[in-house]
Amino acid sequence: MSRILHRAIGSSLPEAVGGQGVYIIAKDGKRYIDGSGGAAVSCLGHGHPEVLAAMRAQMDRIGYVHTSFFTTDVAEQLAERLVDLSPVGLDYVYLVSGGSEAVEAALKMARQYFVETGQPQRRHIIGRRQSYHGNTIGALATGGNAWRRAQFQPILPETHHVSPCYAYRDQRDGETAEAYAARLADELEAKIRELGTDQVMAFVAEPVVGATLGAVPSVADYFARVRKICDKYGVLLILDEVMCGMGRTGTLFACEQDGVVPDIVTIAKGLGGGYQPIGAVLLSDKIYRAFADGSGAFQHGHTYIGHPMAAAAANKVVEIISHPAVMENVQRMGERLQAGLDAALGQSPHVGDIRGRGLFRGIEIVADKESKTPFDPARKIHARIKKEAMARGLLCYPMGGTIDGVQGDHVLLAPPYIIEPIEIDQIVERITAAIDAAIKA
């Protein structure tokens, strides 16, 4: 009997014993295409020799120091590299150990910024429904994942939510993308005015919504409108790129494709490629200066922030994925994946939408294509697809509750950036067969 408290108690999981490129190898010898990169984490696949070499070299030097006593060259190099590669205006880096930590730190930064600048009354956070920002208390409160929030609602701090940019279900018949974006921006502005124009501290959003909606990008000039509204009312714009960032959508930062620069951006997952647990918050100079010219410190911290081993791994991962050829492959293979899914599933009566950017694609499953009616949640179609996919040697990332936390099913695909055409085609073949088998079961 396992002594681990597994995610699903009583489940029988295969044991992973090896990884090679886009494959994970189980104890029984079965090879699985890592079609979701775990949870959009393994951007360079498994066993990458350059990353492993960087980690070994750091291990021979020093494995851990506490950041209240020392900095390290690898942490400094990683921060410098991230700033150099980020959109102009993001000038400083705070290293953490994962995505939820990054979001928690970002929220605290926003609050402290307003305290330091003489606006302590600003306390409200606005997020979007059907978003996901992490499982710690502040991040969970900020996110709009109804199912994850439900049982913890009594202990969550107060937050507020507006509509997601979810064109497949929410864009009205005859409504242009521009008009839809404007309607959503007006809703955000109305919420800020309702809460008090000098009371809101931050608006938090994923440029491409990941786990909860399944790779849903924004439309038209949505984020440009959001940026203007935040500026108008002095609200900080926090973009959560934990899942969609670090090259996943075809540019190193997802917000590059939306033409906006946030005040704060959170990254993780692909930052370390799964080789070490690491995340980061990038912040603007105005936020840094408020701390530097005020109290002189950011009142926050965790034991393992700036961990040398994690920084060494991430530094090498970012060096590799920032090569133009790697991003070109993400874009090309992303287009091939989309085209393959469209060809195989586009006419399926049970596939409502296939969307995403780069190697970040979502498939929304429906009972009826014409009406967009979802399957009965009791059927757990998303879980059946995962089981059928694994039986065929494919790992995907399915979720239920796509529409409102209860109704709806989708599957997320996020394979490593090193994937080749033949493996893309195998993903399409296997996920198509898995969806068909799950629906027929």
pLDDT at 11: 84
pLDDT at 4: 93
CATH number at 288 reads 3.40.640.10
Same domain flag for 92 and 109: yes
pLDDT at 1: 80
Same domain flag for 359 and 410: yes
* Assigned token pair, 135: 């499982």
Contacts of 358 (CB under 8 A, 6+ apart): 247, 248, 249, 250, 251, 330, 331, 334
Q: Distance between alpha carbon 71 and the CA centroid of its chain, in Å?
A: 28
pLDDT at 69: 98
Among residues 321, 346, 373, the one where a domain terminates is 321
Same domain flag for 261 and 384: no
Among residues 304, 321, 338, the one where a domain terminates is 321
Name which of 318, 356, 322, 321 is nearest 340 in CA terms. 356
Is this model's pTM higher than 0.85 or not? Answer: yes
Question: 3-state class of 2 per DSSP?
Answer: coil
pLDDT along the chain (441 residues), means of 10: 90 95 98 98 98 98 97 98 98 98 98 98 98 97 94 96 98 98 98 98 98 97 98 98 98 98 98 98 98 98 97 98 98 98 98 98 98 98 98 98 97 98 98 98 85
pLDDT at 10: 85
Number of domains in the chain: 2
Instruction: Look at residue 7 and tell me if it is in a domain.
Output: no
62 touches 236 (CB < 8 A):
no
Counting every residue written for the chain, the total comes to: 441
CB count, 10 Å around CB of 110?
Answer: 25
Averaged confidence pLDDT in the chain = 97
Among residues 284, 303, 321, the one where a domain terminates is 321
Same domain flag for 38 and 101: no
Residue 425: domain span: 16-47+323-440
246 touches 208 (CB < 8 A):
no
Name which of 436, 434, 408, 441 is nearest 166 in CA terms. 408
Q: What percent of the chain is predicted at pLDDT more than 90? A: 98
Give the C-alpha separation, 302 to 287, whole Å.
20
pLDDT at 33: 98
CATH number at 39 reads 3.90.1150.10
* Assigned token pair, 335: 């287009």
Give the C-alpha separation, 410 to 364, whole Å.
4
For 86-136, where are the alpha helices, taking DSSP H only? 99-116
Give the C-alpha separation, 21 to 30, whole Å.
15
Q: What percent of the chain is predicted at pLDDT more than 70? A: 100
CB count, 10 Å around CB of 194?
Answer: 12
pLDDT in tens, 27-75: 999 999 999 999 999 999 999 999 999 999 999 999 999 999 999 999 9
